Structure 1
Amino acid sequence: MKRLVKSYLKKLRGEGLGRSVTALARWSLCSIIPQDWIYKVMRRRHEFLSIKLDRQLDSTVKYGQFKGLKFSAESSWSLEDRAGMLLGLYEKEVLEELQQSSDKHGIFVDLGAADGYYGVGVLVSDMFRTAYCFEATEAGQNAIKTNARLNGVSDRIVVKGIATKDFHKEFPPADIQSCVILVDIEGGEFGLFDEETFRAFSGAVIIIEIHDFLVDEGKAKVQRLLDAAAHTHRYKKIVTGSRDLSGFPEVADYIDYDRWLICSERRRQLPSWIRFDPLAPAHDGTLTP
């Protein structure tokens, strides 16, 4: 307490009564306001910025790998993410991984497809020939179909419900070995993917968003996931990197707070994914790194 008083008196002498009292009031206010309330205010501001940019860009992605992707008014997913999507910033690391894989694979499989941002986006950008979207909610399934129609790719997309343990049986065997799978199922990845699943998709690239913080013994389950894939896939870990907003004139006149809020994906911790790539087949038919 004495240290705080000394700090305030020093500020009083240096900046005068008006500024020092204002600083004291600001500090007191920030100390007593519940953190949850602050987060709610930030989310509302984030949503406001997304709506503003959405109107400005006519609900169409202007930058990045999915440039030209149009969004319908129907959305089953968080509206706050819209601004980052429109600027090509949302999960930019995943977009780059998909782009690197698109030349070798014609089929895209999306588990936890939400409203089809990825499922429709990879078709609009011609990264993949066909997309299978697995989405548990009816609202999400309808949104995917709506966005597919809006973007003229309905004949190249298949919308399904929740992915069960043998979901690999739901599309042609040839597609299994020529696909890229993106998984975002909020911790369900640990129950869905085991050694049998990885063997079924031994020729596929699999990118899984890791939600170890949402389940008990999360770190141990991540290790079991890696062990299950060891006979068929090698892996690398991916984490969210930096964002650069200097190239977007649409937000050049935004205050810094707003620009960086657009980049937020509201994660509880640093987002991470694991990418699994098939091991190369040896001459005797076994798999080698």
Structure 2
Amino acid sequence: MASYLETVREWFRARLDAPGGLSTPEGATLGLRVLAIWRSRIIAGALRDQNGGRVLGGPFAGMAYVEDATEGALAPRLIGTYEDELHPHLAEALAADPEVILDIGCAEGYYAAGLARLAPRARVHAHDTSETAQAACRRMAELNGVADRVQVGGLFQPGDFQAFAGRRCLVIVDIEGAEDDLLRPDLAPALAGMRLIVETHDVYRPGVLDRLQDRFAATHEITVVRAGPKTSPLPELLRNRSHLDQLLAVWEFRAAPTPWLVMIPKPSA
């Protein structure tokens, strides 16, 4: 945490005296974001100290966590509010008894380890292009006793879906815009029979939300899920904190809307 604080200090030193550095609306917004991430990391550290690094609520309550998130905010993951808009859709997907779970863009393994705990008959294939993320995901699986069912790999390409054709498969995708390149039914016909939960990133690939809906409209029932307010009770540590700390504790570091597509194969598919 000390090294991160020094990074924040240097960031502000370089901009405070620079022409227009923090005086423009864009500069001020970026400065607030840097400070908010710093404060969120402090909150996450306090949560770790209190709960021993375990998830407090949500479907993955009790899951042991690695030291830090490799991408995005740690605090909401530890609280259990992270992407809670998806909780009912995850429950529905697990009720379908998947044989295989593909977690593409797995980061440190929040979903890979969490879903492996909840679906003891499923094998999880977790993929990330970051070697740091791959190592953290393996560690997360070990911490939670599911390493024998979580296989961690690197780049996943459209044709790789074909290895899972005909199986009850849940696919979770969060790859910062590259979903536009990966989710190609023309290159991977097996996608027609797979249940998908995809985070979309128009912020990086304008129009990708609409393009994916067009690609899967013939084979899937599609629901667009948008981020909403966090209404779950906060842990005791945060109940008497400032309103700002309570907001930052559940903030997921999103710079722009990233709606999800929940896509369920039609019976004809």
TM-score with structure 1 setting the length: 0.78
Shift in Å at residue 244 of structure 1?
A: 2.0
CA gap of 1:172–1:243, structure 2 versus 1, over 3 A, is closer
1:120-150 Cα deviation digits (max 9, x unpaired) = 0111233762211011111111111111111
Which amino acid is the alignment partner of residue 83 of structure 1?
A
* Counterpart selection for 1:98 from 90, 96, 99: 90
Contact 1:106 1:128 (C-alpha < 8 Å) held by counterparts? yes
Aligned to 2:156: 163
Contact 1:68 1:124 (C-alpha < 8 Å) held by counterparts? no
Counterpart check, 1:134 vs 2:134:
no
Which residues of 2 match residues 1-289 of structure 1 at below 5 A? 34-73=28-67, 75-78=69-72, 81-104=73-96, 105-126=98-119, 129-169=122-162, 171-174=163-166, 177-197=167-187, 199-215=189-205, 218-219=206-207, 221-281=208-268, 287=269
**CA-based RMSD:** 2.2
CA gap of 1:73–1:92, structure 2 versus 1, over 3 A, is same
Q: Pick which of 272-281 and 223-232 moved more.
A: 223-232
- CA–CA separation in structure 1 for the residues paired with 2:112 and 2:225: 21
The answer for unaligned runs of 5 or more in structure 1 is: 1-28, 282-286
Instruction: Give the count of matched residue pairs.
Output: 246
Contact 1:102 1:127 (C-alpha < 8 Å) held by counterparts? no
Which amino acid is the alignment partner of residue 151 of structure 2?
V
Shift in Å at residue 111 of structure 1?
A: 0.6
- CA–CA separation in structure 2 for the residues paired with 1:172 and 1:34: 48
- CA–CA separation in structure 2 for the residues paired with 1:74 and 1:41: 18
Contact 2:165 2:190 (C-alpha < 8 Å) held by counterparts? no
CA gap of 1:83–1:196, structure 2 versus 1, over 3 A, is same
The answer for unaligned runs of 5 or more in structure 2 is: 1-21
CA gap of 1:53–1:74, structure 2 versus 1, over 3 A, is closer
Task: For CA contacts below 8 A with separation 6 or more, give which structure has more relative contact order.
Answer: 2
CA gap of 1:264–1:103, structure 2 versus 1, over 3 A, is same
**Dislocated runs of 4+, deviation >6 Å:** 29-33
1:66-121 Cα deviation digits (max 9, x unpaired) = 0111012365334xx22111111011112331111102123211110001110001
Which amino acid is the alignment partner of residue 80 of structure 2?
G
CA gap of 1:232–1:255, structure 2 versus 1, over 3 A, is same
- CA–CA separation in structure 2 for the residues paired with 1:274 and 1:224: 11
TM-score with structure 2 setting the length: 0.84
CA gap of 1:234–1:158, structure 2 versus 1, over 3 A, is same
Q: Pick which of 124-133 and 146-155 moved more.
A: 124-133
1:12-53 Cα deviation digits (max 9, x unpaired) = xxxxxxxxxxxxxxxxx9999833222211211111111111
Matched position secondary structure for 1:280? coil
Pair member with larger Rg: 1
Which amino acid is the alignment partner of residue 203 of structure 1?
G
Shift in Å at residue 247 of structure 1?
A: 5.0
- CA–CA separation in structure 2 for the residues paired with 1:137 and 1:263: 25
